[in-house]
């Protein structure tokens, strides 16, 4: 057991820090640190910078463009990204579909899709959930029927994040309706521009458009766009969800939020003093930081297990539950720190007939919208109730 | 002791319930909140015609002499529909300040106009540095000839953008945070030097930041005597807290009904999700929070009607602390139990969550009132 970094690791840390300082542009940093949804142009610009350095996909195997870093280096990198307010790459390509492609895809698929993800040429979205199939994902009904060299896809997906920016969607579809639900599912890669696909935006509680409904009406998809075997899609889907749950903990970002909260507490005035002198408030912040530290060391302990060749079972569910709860408590506290200015959640937005520029402090812009959006953190990626079910079944045998 | 409503009170409740049912379906509310005004002047007229705007005012002032219990009844029913009209701002804040401390001329000029639905008001008390401390007033009013000159900035003035008159708290003497030296002024919304920045709030309502730059008001704009407004403000705000507690109770009841129904109808894994025990227990907790809140809201209304003493203030803070906590829990869990459906602005549950979230902050958040409770 040893917590310290080696000299090489310390040097690596400085290298990452210096790179981020020199290359992260102010607008990207500002949006991300406020918790405001990305702009596609800025996100793409930033991903290109990372990729030019070879750091877009540290977790991939080296042969496909990964960095070959140790778990410690990956940890250092994630921490430094968080510390610098650098947004991670969009997850749908880099950390969701890519591992499925390089693990289960054929050579042609790897050669085609992986470089395009690295170069941010493709924007992916995730077509799992359907109106009748959320937590019970395996009950999904979107159907793919063979017709020559193609599948004909009919059905509907919902809650598809950022589909409006995407040119590709990875989809779970039913290819066999006569077997156990999990056994008739296939994993398809579908071009969003194929005739028969339509999008309908869903406006969220934060008044932003991140969610969509995606409709499939006789959409022709080449059979060659299927990952792995027909009717084995559930295996690939679950593999992906496991990865999703780890990255969803967002520990580095939460650390950054803690720091931001300390800054706000040092600026907000209360009773002639500052919010940072308010014991009740600071206690809450300190409690969150302690919980976050516990989560961080839990994650490190799990990474160490992986390094030593152990396989995880339901541990990612723990990270997801604790990580999402901490995210929510942090934005809630951030809103609380603003006093009544939390209510004016579009503080800097000037909109004809709705919003004049008010006199709120600059940092009042963003927290309420983020607080609203992050209520979803305990819903998406498998709800926290479902994660608890998984732990109780797989770890505790209940 | 009796927690039951009188026959008259039942009629009052029924009439507002009917209004809400007819006019505040989820879609109506969403549409209305997105208009430039953010509420309906027609609804306001209806409220005047049905006598609701006069309920809280004394008969001498032209009102119906209702008490805090009547206000509670009305607010609870309005909370069920998340009614958007500036009832609290106009009647329970602006109007109540005038009724409480104004002179005969002011009362005569203002209260009947409010009751008839011709005049809207709001109250600018908070400032960027004040947080929830009502005495932390840095806006100044200095004497000049026959009147006063006002300077300062008021923050998050609910319905400040649509008010005809805004009551402003300002310091005529003393240092910032002194209880002594605070005065109240009635300022016309079109007064020269008034910069009103109106914006949408997260709960679908409207608020404004109001900057006063050498705004001149006549001596007749002063409510009550100079420098002694602090107790008046505290009392009126406490009444308004009672009211929004009732609003939260109505909103929680509605959110729980909607969620309960959803648990019965939404199916996953081949069964209604309400069959999962973890969700049953969650829903039970939400129900219990709502019941505890209803008890506190009823209690505080009845106490306010018995007079206004230290004990009343303590009760107000207790109610606000309890309801703040419950509102947060019920709001957040209603969204959680709806899954993705809870996250869309096109569906009603999220709007209950958002209003419950702001009620927790309004007039002092849960921590603030726990502290006030322990210091009183
Ligand atoms: C902001 C956001 C972004 C999303 N992005 C995507 C995306 O990009 N792609 C995609 O495919 N999907 C996406 N989703 C969908 C998400 O994965 C689902 O919302 C989630 O799986 C829950 O499904 P549901 O919404 O149908 O809720 P339901 O499954 O209907 O659940 C409703 C409630 O019941 C509970 N529940 C259900 N079953 C059980 C059980 N057995 N035991 C105990 N409790 C249970 C749930 O926890 C929840 O509280 C997103 C969702 C949100 C909110």
Assigned domain for B346 exists: yes
Are B267 and B282 in the same domain?
yes
Burial of A159 (0-12, 13-18, 19+ CB in 10 A): buried
Region B181-190 average pLDDT: 98
What is the model's pTM?
Answer: 0.96
Q: How far, in Å, CA of B181 to CA of B174, rounded?
A: 5
B154 contact residues in A (CB cutoff 8 A): none
Choice between A107 and A362, residue whose per-residue pLDDT is larger: A107
pLDDT of B303:
97
Show Cβ contacts of residue A323 under 8 Å, excluding neighbours closer than 6 positions: A248, A249, A250, A251, A254, A295
Q: Which of B177, B199, B227 is the last residue of a domain?
A: B227
Q: Are the beta carbons of A188 and A225 closer than 8 angstroms?
A: yes
Q: How far is the CA of A384 from the centre of ligand 1 (A)?
A: 9
pLDDT of A305:
85
Region B125-143 average pLDDT: 96
Burial of A8 (0-12, 13-18, 19+ CB in 10 A): exposed
Q: Is A160 in the pocket of ligand 1 (CB under 6 A)?
A: yes
Nearest neighbour of B340 by CB, restricted to A159, A281, A339:
A159
pLDDT of B173:
97
Assigned domain for B2 exists: no
- The chain-wide mean pLDDT, for chain B, equals 97
Q: What is the domain range of residue B67? A: 7-115
Name the closest residue on chain B to residue A355, using Cα atoms. B199
Q: Is the pLDDT of residue A347 over 90?
A: no
pLDDT of A348:
63
Region B78-96 average pLDDT: 98
Q: Which of B51, B85, B115 is the last residue of a domain?
A: B115
* DSSP string for A292-335: HHHHHHHHHHHHHHHHTT---SSHHHHHHHHHHHHHHHHHHHHH
Nearest neighbour of B201 by CB, restricted to A135, A344, A361:
A344
Q: How far, in Å, CA of B88 to CA of B365, rounded?
A: 18
ipTM of predicted complex: 0.95
> Domain with B202 in it: what CATH number?
2.40.110.10
Encode pLDDT of A35-70 as tens digits. 777 789 999 999 999 999 999 999 999 999 999 998
Are B21 and B126 in the same domain?
no
Region B306-312 average pLDDT: 95
Q: Is B340 in the pocket of ligand 1 (CB under 6 A)?
A: yes
Assigned domain for B237 exists: yes
pLDDT of A232:
97
Segment 122-181 of chain A within 8 Å of chain B by CB:
129, 132-136, 139, 158-159
* Span of A166-170, A268-272, B229-233, B369-373 with lowest mean pLDDT: A268-272
Q: Is the pLDDT of residue B175 over 60?
A: yes
User: Which sign, positive or negative, has the C-alpha torsion B340, B344, B348, B351?
Assistant: positive
Residue A310 phi, psi (nearest 5): -80, 155
pLDDT band at A345 (very low <50, low <70, confident <90, very high): low
Are B368 and B251 in the same domain?
yes
Q: How far, in Å, CA of B316 to CA of B326, rounded?
A: 15
pLDDT of A36:
78
> Domain with B306 in it: what CATH number?
1.20.140.10
Are B127 and B261 in the same domain?
no
Residue B148 phi, psi (nearest 5): -135, 155
A345 contact residues in B (CB cutoff 8 A): 201-202
Encode pLDDT of A173-200 as tens digits. 999 999 999 999 999 999 999 999 999 9
Assigned domain for B306 exists: yes
pLDDT of A245:
60
Are B141 and B164 in the same domain?
yes
* DSSP string for B107-149: HHHHHHHHHTT---EEEE---TTTTT-TT----EEEEETTEEE
Are B103 and B130 in the same domain?
no
Assigned domain for B138 exists: yes
Encode pLDDT of A75-122 as tens digits. 899 989 999 999 999 999 999 999 999 999 999 999 999 999 999 999
Region A145-156 average pLDDT: 98
* DSSP string for A121-159: ---EEEE--BTTBSSSGGG---EEEEETTEEEEEEEEES
Rg (CA), chain A: 22
Encode pLDDT of B248-259 as tens digits. 999 999 999 999
- For the packed helices A7-23 and A40-53, what is the interaxial angle rounded to 10 degrees? 140
Are B180 and B254 in the same domain?
no
- Strand B182-188 relative to strand B194-200: parallel, antiparallel, unpaired? unpaired
Q: Is the pLDDT of residue A167 over 60?
A: yes
> Domain with B69 in it: what CATH number?
1.10.540.10
Are B148 and B216 in the same domain?
yes
Are B307 and B223 in the same domain?
no
Are B337 and B249 in the same domain?
yes
Q: Is the pLDDT of residue A354 over 80?
A: no
- The chain-wide mean pLDDT, for chain A, equals 93
pLDDT band at A358 (very low <50, low <70, confident <90, very high): confident
The domains of chain A, with CATH numbers, are 7-89 (1.10.540.10), 124-231 (2.40.110.10), 248-394 (1.20.140.10)
Percent of chain A's residues with pLDDT above 70: 97
Assigned domain for B1 exists: no
Name the closest residue on chain B to residue A274, using Cα atoms. B129
Q: Are the beta carbons of B17 and B80 closer than 8 angstroms?
A: yes
pLDDT of A304:
82
Region B186-211 average pLDDT: 96
Q: Is the pLDDT of residue A316 over 90?
A: no
**Residue B362: in which H helix or E strand, if any?**
none
pLDDT of A247:
65
Encode pLDDT of A27-39 as tens digits. 999 888 887 777 8
B345 contact residues in A (CB cutoff 8 A): 203-205, 207
pLDDT band at A244 (very low <50, low <70, confident <90, very high): low
Are B106 and B23 in the same domain?
yes
Q: Is the pLDDT of residue A129 over 90?
A: yes
Q: Which of B197, B227, B257 is the last residue of a domain?
A: B227
pLDDT of A361:
86
Q: Are the beta carbons of A200 and A100 closer than 8 angstroms?
A: no
Q: Is the pLDDT of residue B13 over 70?
A: yes
pLDDT of A344:
81
Q: Is B283 in the pocket of ligand 1 (CB under 6 A)?
A: no
Q: Is the pLDDT of residue B138 over 90?
A: yes
Q: How far, in Å, CA of B90 to CA of B92, rounded?
A: 6
Residue B1 is encoded by which pair of tokens?
Answer: 């002791």
Which of these, A291, A297, A274, lies nearest to A75 by C-alpha position? A297
Q: Is B278 in the pocket of ligand 1 (CB under 6 A)?
A: yes
Are B245 and B194 in the same domain?
no
Residue A64 is encoded by which pair of tokens?
Answer: 């496909």
Q: Is the pLDDT of residue A246 over 80?
A: no
pLDDT band at A131 (very low <50, low <70, confident <90, very high): very high
Q: Where do the DSSP E strands lie in A148-301?
A: 150-158, 168-174, 185-191, 197-203, 209-222, 226-227, 269-270, 273-274
Total structural domains in chain B?
A: 3
CA atoms within 13 Å, Cβ hemisphere of B12:
23
């Amino acid at each position: 057991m040893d917590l310290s970094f080696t000299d090489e690791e310390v040097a690596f840390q400085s290298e990452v820090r210096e790179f981020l300082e020199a290359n992260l542009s102010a607008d990207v940093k500002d949006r991300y640190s406020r918790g405001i949804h990305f702009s596609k142009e800025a996100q793409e610009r930033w991903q290109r910078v990372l990729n030019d350095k070879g750091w877009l996909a540290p977790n991939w195997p080296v042969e496909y463009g990964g960095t070959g870093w140790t778990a410690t280096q990956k940890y250092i990198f994630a921490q430094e990204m968080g510390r610098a307010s650098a947004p991670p790459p969009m997850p749908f390509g880099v950390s969701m579909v890519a591992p499925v492609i390089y693990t289960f895809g054929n050579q042609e698929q790897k050669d085609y899709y992986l470089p395009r993800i690295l170069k941010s040429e493709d924007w992916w979205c995730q077509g799992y959930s359907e109106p009748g199939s959320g937590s019970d994902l395996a009950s999904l009904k979107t159907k793919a029927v063979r017709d020559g060299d193609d599948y004909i896809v009919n059905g509907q997906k919902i809650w598809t994040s950022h589909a409006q920016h995407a040119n590709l969607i990875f989809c779970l579809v039913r290819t066999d309706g006569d077997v156990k639900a999990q056994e008739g599912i296939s994993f398809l890669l579908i071009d969003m521009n194929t005739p028969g696909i339509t999008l309908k935006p869903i406006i969220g509680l934060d008044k932003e458009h991140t969610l969509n409904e995606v409709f499939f009406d006789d959409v022709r998809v080449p059979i060659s766009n299927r990952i792995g075997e027909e009717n084995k899609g559930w295996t690939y889907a679950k593999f992906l969800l496991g990865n999703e749950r780890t990255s969803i903990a967002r520990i580095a970002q939460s650390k950054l939020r803690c720091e931001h909260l300390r800054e706000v507490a040092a600026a907000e005035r209360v009773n002639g003093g500052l919010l940072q002198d308010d014991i009740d408030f600071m206690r809450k912040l300190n409690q969150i930081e302690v919980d976050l530290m516990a989560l961080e060391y839990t994650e490190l302990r799990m990474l160490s297990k992986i390094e030593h060749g152990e396989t995880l079972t339901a541990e990612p569910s723990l990270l997801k539950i604790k990580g999402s709860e901490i995210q929510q408590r942090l934005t809630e506290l951030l809103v609380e720190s603003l006093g009544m200015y939390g209510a004016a959640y579009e503080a800097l937005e000037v909109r004809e007939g709705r919003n004049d520029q008010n006199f709120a402090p600059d940092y009042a812009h963003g927290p309420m919208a983020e607080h609203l959006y992050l209520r979803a953190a305990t819903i998406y990626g498998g709800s926290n109730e479902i994660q608890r079910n998984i732990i109780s079944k797989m770890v505790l045998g209940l | 002791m009796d927690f039951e409503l009188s026959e008259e009170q039942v009629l009052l409740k029924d009439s507002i319930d009917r209004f809400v049912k007819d006019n505040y379906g989820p879609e109506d509310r969403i549409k209305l909140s997105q208009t430039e005004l953010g509420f309906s002047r027609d609804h306001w007229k209806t409220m005047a015609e049905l006598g609701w705007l006069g309920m809280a005012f004394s008969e001498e002032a032209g009102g119906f002499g209702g008490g805090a219990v009547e206000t509670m009844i009305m607010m609870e029913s309005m909370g069920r529909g998340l009614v958007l009209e500036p009832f609290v701002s106009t009647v329970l804040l602006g109007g109540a300040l005038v009724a409480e401390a104004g002179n005969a001329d002011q009362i005569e000029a203002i209260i009947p106009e409010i009751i008839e639905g011709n005049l809207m008001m709001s109250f600018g008390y908070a400032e960027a540095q004040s947080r929830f401390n009502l005495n932390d007033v840095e806006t100044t009013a200095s004497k000049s000839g026959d009147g006063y000159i006002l300077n300062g900035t008021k923050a998050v003035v609910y319905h400040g953008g649509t008010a005809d008159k805004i009551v402003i708290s300002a310091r005529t003497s003393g240092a910032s945070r002194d209880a002594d030296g605070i005065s109240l002024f009635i300022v016309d919304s079109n007064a020269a030097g008034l910069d009103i920045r109106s914006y949408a709030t997260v709960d679908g309502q409207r608020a404004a930041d109001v900057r006063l730059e050498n705004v001149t008001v006549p001596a007749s704009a002063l409510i009550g005597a100079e420098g002694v407004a602090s107790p008046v403000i505290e009392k009126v705000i406490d009444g308004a807290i009672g009211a929004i507690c009732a609003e939260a109770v109505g909103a929680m009841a509605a959110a729980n009904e909607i969620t309960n129904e959803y648990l019965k109808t939404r199916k996953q894994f081949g069964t209604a999700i309400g069959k999962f025990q973890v969700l049953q227990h969650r829903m039970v907790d939400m129900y219990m929070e709502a019941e505890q809140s209803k008890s506190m809201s009823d209690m505080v209304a009845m106490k306010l009607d018995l007079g206004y003493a230290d004990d009343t203030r303590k009760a107000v803070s207790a109610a606000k602390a309890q309801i703040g906590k419950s509102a947060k829990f019920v709001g957040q869990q209603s969204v959680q139990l709806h899954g993705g459906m809870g996250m869309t602005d096109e569906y009603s549950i999220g709007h209950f969550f958002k209003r419950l979230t702001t009620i927790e902050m309004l007039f002092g958040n849960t921590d603030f009132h726990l502290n006030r409770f322990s210091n009183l």
